[in-house]
Amino acid sequence: MCRNIKTLFNFDPPVTDEETRAASLQFVRKISGFNKPSKANEASFLAAVDEIADISIRLLRSLETTAPPRNREEQAAKAKARAADRFGASEIHGG
């Protein structure tokens, strides 16, 4: 799966519809192979992004958990640490 698509469920504060749409855009880009579709494919591409975003929003709103909400800052710090381990600290900080 695309590394740019992040878990969106169970955060405090909850993810926004815009964040869900951005993840949907990344998903459609990944499966279509298009970063930016041609004019001929643009309508289909954007319709897919909208449909996936709508379905994702409905899914996220319907899910339930007893786990405590994840903290965005803590999750970002963990992701940064994983990236530093994976790629080396100098690449993460532009060195």
pLDDT of residue 1: 47
How far is residue 6's CA from residue 46's CA, in Å, rounded to a whole number? 20
Residue 33 is predicted with a pLDDT of 96
pLDDT at 73: 85
Tell me which residue of 69, 2, 70 sits closest to 33, measured CA to CA: 2
pLDDT digit of tens for each residue in the chain (95 aa)?
A: 456 678 899 998 899 999 999 999 999 999 999 999 999 999 999 999 999 999 999 999 999 999 999 988 888 888 889 888 888 865 555 55
Domain ranges, ordered by start, for the chain: 13-64, 69-95
Which one-letter amino acid corresponds to residue 78?
Answer: K
Q: What is the pTM of this model?
A: 0.76
